[in-house]
Amino acid sequence: MILGRVVGSVVATQKDEKLRSTKLLVVETLDPLTGQGKKSYVVAVDAVGAGDGEVVLCASGSSARLTPVTDGRPVDTVIMAIVDTYDIDGTVMFRKNE
């Protein structure tokens, strides 16, 4: 899984039939220890209604095609969760809305 932050969106008026009605978002991967962006980006199908600036969990590869939104579609990365909080060794590293 990939921890990331939504930093943008992709609009494609011409796309594969199987990608119609999908929302494409740009996600910057995060360093979980610092919460800082790694300057590495992926385009992901949004399966959970994520918005700009939200911290999300993504799955990639064949796992990305296991959600109801992505099943049978040509998808390599999917946003499958919006993160509320995460901790490392008992220290809260991120809490939504703080």
Query: Is the domain covering 2-11+20-95 a CATH 1.10.4160.10 domain?
Result: no
pLDDT at residue 41, as a whole number = 98
Question: How far, in Å, CA of 72 to CA of 69, rounded?
Answer: 9
Domain definitions of the chain by residue range:
2-11+20-95
pLDDT at residue 85, as a whole number = 97
Question: How far, in Å, CA of 62 to CA of 15, rounded?
Answer: 20
pLDDT at residue 98, as a whole number = 80
Per-residue model confidence as pLDDT tens digits over 31-56: 999 999 999 999 999 999 999 999 99
Residue 61 per-residue DSSP state: G
Per-residue model confidence as pLDDT tens digits over 48-86: 999 999 999 999 999 999 999 999 999 999 999 999 999
